[in-house]
Amino acid sequence: MASLKCKYCGGNVSAFPDNALGICARCGGVMTLPSDPTPKHIAAHNCGNYLRRTGKFDQALSVYQTLLQEDETDPESHWCSALCQFGVQYVQENETGAYIPRITRPENGSFLDSGEYLAALAHSGGAVQLQYEKEAARIAGNPAEAQSADPSLLIKEGYWHLNQRQWDEADRCFRQAARMQPDNGMIPLGLLLAEFECQNPKALAACKKEIDESAYYRAALEAGDENQKRFLEACAQSIRRKNQKMKLEQDYLAAKAAMESASNREDYCQAARLFGQLKDYRDAQANAKECLRRAEIIRREAVYRAALAAKNQGQTEQAAVLFSKIPGWRDANLQAVECRQRSAAQEAAKPKQEPAGIPMWKKIVAALFLLALLSVGGYLTVTQYVIPQQKYNAAQTLLEAGKREDAIDAFQALGSFKDAADRALNIQIDWYSQAEQLLDAGDKLRAAAAFGGLRDYEDARDRSRALWEQIVPPQTISAGGWYSAALRSDNTAVAVGDARDDKCWVGSWLNIRSLSAGWEHTVGLRTDGTVVCAGYNGDGRGDIDQWRDMVAVQAGQWHTVGLKSNGQVIGLGCENDGRIDFEGWQDIQNISAGRNHTLGLKADGTALAAGDNREGQCDVSHWANLTALSAGGAHSLGLQKDGTVVAVGDNQDGQCNVALWKDIVAISAGYYHSVGLKSDGTVVAVGYNEDGQCDVSDWKDIVAISAGGWHTLGLKSDGSIVAVGRNEKDQCEVLGWDNMKVPK
């Protein structure tokens, strides 16, 4: 097509692919094009537009009328004739730079009633007709009507601006189109391209910034079709991999530079840490070991030089101690023996001023003392090398048995003996790297347990705690045997009901994340991973002062169970029936304590059980696809991924009749009844109901539930609590509680 000039400013117009509309390269205006693209017609339109822009409306009109004599159905000639009849000129605004239409011949009536305008509409259709209507509304002074035009024109204009690298103009077009058609998937895609300054979707994959962090990316996924979704996800993944590789390379080069510039032990240890964080990238692990080797050489050389200096100064005993700290290095072993012998000889050679008449027994004692000095060398060898070497070997045995935490403690306890400190550091570096690999693979539970086992190493404790908070939901309400406990929104606790043994004395608790009410005791998990307990402790169930790094706690009837950040489960209190025997439990993501038994939910969705099994309440080995479980009096409940519930154990009161439950999101097993929370906020219950503990059919807006001895609690979305069931100890007096903590 020959070069067509803009109706507004006279710039060059580029046609859209359909050749029905085009856009001006100078002012960005979208406009209709002549239906006949021959050079003759293009030249005629350019001439007419020029005459109209310069105010020669009648001459311009004659040009278009001539074209209409050849083809009276030409919509563009009718449109331009209307512009000439009303003397339409486009004036550029100072503030925005946009071209605004102005009618200079208002005496000709309403533009919208013009015969030429109506003829243009009659002989056009689709996008062309919509553009005529939009521009006519602007000319008639009704911008609101102009905005109601088809947003497809704005979308086309936006993509044209993208192609011209006019990012701000493209963004403006897409935003305007979004107000009219928010569900069009091409709009957020265009906004995404404008944000990352890409001319077309294919250019997204070359972005340096990660596009999936943009709100437009998420909007484009939701509004686009499957092809667009797959394309964007592939781009995001490609960018992420590229950036990760780039970051790895940058970190590798930084570690390499640190290694090359290292001049002391601390520098090499720091370089080793940097390489250790790179996992298996290139030769990072080999370089980490090399850095540690060089650091150890520097350490041993420094100790050796200090020992020689002490020996040369006659401080043979001190020199012997220093040489014994680097056994096997150079001739340190021989030097240590020589220094001990010299020290003993020096001591023996000291002149003795013996007064006359010294008793024989004193001479014998002196002789024995001299013999003892001579044996000091052997004693020091045993205490400074033999015994530490035995402990070193024991630490190695622990490591080979997979007991990394104990191995780290054992190596660290050896201090500067051999390479013990660096062995401990090496274990931590490797373990931290493995934890990050697990996290990258999406295995949050094992990553959380690995970080938890590392405790104070780097940021391991904080990372473990953050992951566990995503895995274990907090328990904010808990119905005990004869009392009720709950958390307020400020993480303090409150309890009501049977107060014997002080189990309701929780008012002084602060920074509580989760709590659990048993029969005669209450436990609370603080946000820092420590635990508090109130109530009966005759059997040691409350001896939790040494518990650290806990992520979940549960109070049974006579026992207490805790899940540690390293994934281990521990217990206190009554040991009958093996209810706190957790030998072999691994990969546990949550726990539940019942009357005489304990349940553990594994990472693979299966369950473990320990304790009394006379009613079959521990027969859970066949359960699968679980997301939650709950241990009751003598029965157990399991919530499956599909929202159904399974049950085993005592069913005398129908507490296991849960097979018909559907859409369940939470479960709670009481002593003789079972409660389920549905996805719509309603509650179902089965089992013993003599005290009304199952009368929950009218509950609504419930977000958490808890079944106790003979009563049931429900937490509403507004932070209030409802209760039904036996109330002889005032355990259901919770109506005054509000502003309670609502789980996220």
Mean pLDDT lowest among 131-145, 330-344, 350-364, 497-511 = 350-364
Q: Which of 65-79, 345-359, 598-612, 710-724 bottoms out in mean pLDDT, i.e. has the lowest?
A: 345-359
**Is 423 part of a structural domain of the chain?**
no
What is the identity of the amino acid at 9? Answer: C
Which pLDDT score is estimated for 371? 56
Provide the 10 A C-beta neighbour count for residue 575.
Answer: 15
Q: Is 727:712 a contact under the CB 8 Å cutoff?
A: no
The total number of structural domains that make up the chain: 3
Domain that holds residue 93: 4-149
Same domain, 27 and 176: no
Tokens of 16: 């859209």
CA 350/CA 343 separation, integer angstroms: 11
583 pLDDT higher than 70: yes
**Whether residue 531 sits in one domain with residue 658:** yes
Residues 87 and 170 in one domain: no
| Residue 703 belongs to some domain of the structure | yes
Torsions phi, psi of 434, nearest 5?
-65, -40
Which residues, other chains included, contact 449 with Cβ-Cβ below 8 Å and sequence gap of 6+? 464, 565, 566, 567, 587
**Please, which pLDDT band fits residue 96 given cuts at 50, 70 and 90?**
low
Give pLDDT, residue 352: 56
pLDDT at residue 730, as a whole number: 94
Residue 553 placed within a domain: yes
- For residue 204, pLDDT over 90 is answered with no
- Give yes or no for residue 381 having a pLDDT over 70: no
User: Which residue would you say has higher pLDDT here, 422 or 257?
Assistant: 257
Q: How far apart are CA 85 and CA 44, in angstroms?
A: 17
- With 70 as the cut, is the pLDDT of residue 478 above it? yes
What whole-number distance in Å separates Cα of residue 186 and Cα of residue 375?
Answer: 89
Mean pLDDT value of segment 191-200: 90
Confidence check: pLDDT of 353 > 60: no
User: Where do runs of H (alpha helix) occur along 86-214?
Assistant: 115-122, 126-139, 143-147, 151-163, 167-180, 186-195
Reported as half-sphere exposure (CB side, CA atoms, 13 A), residue 645 has a value of 31
d(CA 21, CA 128): 7
Q: Is residue 720 part of a domain?
A: yes
Distance, CA of 743 to CA of 666 (rounded, Å)? 12
* Percent over 70 (pLDDT), the chain: 93
Tens of pLDDT, residue by residue over 220-248, are 888 888 888 888 888 888 888 888 888 88
Tell me the two tokens of residue 30: 């979208």
CB distance 737 to 720 below 8 Å: yes
**What is the C-alpha separation between 59 and 56, in angstroms, rounded?**
6
Question: Is residue 342 in some structural domain?
Answer: no
In 3D, which of 553, 491, 549, 551 has the Cα closest to residue 521? 553
C-alpha 112: how far from its chain's center?
A: 58
Quote the pLDDT of residue 506.
Answer: 93
- At residue 360, the pLDDT reads 67
Looking at the structure, tell me whether residues 56 and 199 fall in a common domain.
no
101-129: average pLDDT: 88
CATH of the domain at 32: 1.25.40
DSSP-derived pairing of the beta strands 645-649 and 664-669: unpaired
Give burial (CB, 10 Å; 0-12/13-18/19+) of 546: exposed
Domain-ending residue, one of 202, 224, 246: 224
State the average pLDDT for the chain: 88
**In sequence order, which residues have a C-beta less than 8 Å from that of residue 370 and are 6 or more positions away?**
348
Q: Are residues 69 and 189 in the same domain?
A: no
| Pairing label, strands 550-555, 597-602 | unpaired
Report the first-to-last Cα separation within the chain, whole angstroms: 61
Q: Is the pLDDT of residue 546 over 60?
A: yes
Q: Are 25 and 164 in contact (CB under 8 A)?
A: yes
Whether residues 560 and 598 fall in one domain: yes
Count CA atoms within 13 Å of residue 11 on its CB side: 17
- CATH of residue 653: 2.130.10.30
Instruction: State the DSSP string of 607-656.
Output: EEEEE--TTSTT--TT--SEEEEEE-SSEEEEEETTS-EEEEE--TTSTT
Same domain, 562 and 655: yes
**pLDDT per residue as tens digits for the range 45-57:** 999 999 988 888 8
Give the integer Cα–Cα distance in Å for 235 and 229: 10
pLDDT of residue 206: 85
- Same domain, yes or no, for 78 and 209? no
Q: Which range scores top for mean pLDDT: 143-157, 282-296, 505-519?
A: 505-519
Q: How far apart are CA 694 and CA 145, in angstroms?
A: 61
E strands of 414-557, at which residues? 477-479, 483-487, 493-497, 512-517, 521-526, 531-535, 550-555
Q: What is the pLDDT of residue 430?
A: 84
For residue 512, the cross-strand partners are 526
Which position has the token pair 């020959």? 2
pLDDT at position 334, please?
Answer: 80
- 3-state SS assignment for residue 129: helix
> What one-letter code names the amino acid at 737?
W
Nearest to 89 by CA among 53, 140, 116: 53
Over residues 467-487, the mean pLDDT reads 96
Let me know: does 557 contact 598? Beta carbons within 8 Å: no
pLDDT digits (tens, 9 = 90+) for 117-167: 999 998 998 888 888 988 898 888 743 333 334 577 778 878 888 888 888
Closest by Cα among 544, 542, 539, 615 to 575: 539
Lowest mean pLDDT among 269-278, 505-514, 626-635: 269-278
Does residue 329 belong to any structural domain of this protein?
Answer: no
Give the three-class secondary structure for 260: helix
pLDDT at 149: 45
pLDDT at residue 304 tops 60: yes
Helix-strand-coil percent breakdown of the chain, rounded to 5?
45, 20, 35
Domain membership flag for residue 231: no
Structural domain ending residue among the three candidates 131, 149, 167: 149
Q: Do 530 and 678 have their domain in common? A: yes
Instruction: Give dist(CA 83, CA 36) in Å, integer.
Output: 19
pLDDT at 717: 94
188 and 39 in one domain?
A: no
Looking at 149, 182, 203, the residue that finishes a domain is 149
Rounded to 5°, angle at Cα 633 from 618 and 724: 140
Residue 643 lies in a domain: yes
Residue 597 amino acid letter: H
**pLDDT tens-digit map of 15-33:** 887 788 888 888 888 889 9
Residue with tokens 């609502």: 742
Q: Which residues pair with 30 in a beta bridge?
A: 23
- Whether residues 85 and 186 fall in one domain: no
Q: What is the DSSP string of 508-522?
A: T--SEEEEEE-SSEE
Structure tokens at 368: 């024995």
Mean pLDDT of 409-426: 84
pLDDT band at 95 (very low <50, low <70, confident <90, very high): low
pLDDT tens, residue by residue, 617-668: 999 999 999 999 999 999 999 999 999 999 999 999 999 999 999 999 999 9
String of DSSP letters for 529-581:
S-EEEEE--TTSTT--TT--SEEEEEE-SSEEEEEETTS-EEEEE--GGGTT-
Cβ atoms of residues 325 and 339 within 8 Å: no
Same domain, 210 and 143: no
Non-local CB neighbours of 622 within 8 Å, separated by 6+ positions: none
- Could you tell me the pLDDT band of residue 316, with boundaries at 50, 70 and 90? confident
Is pLDDT larger for residue 104 or for residue 679? 679
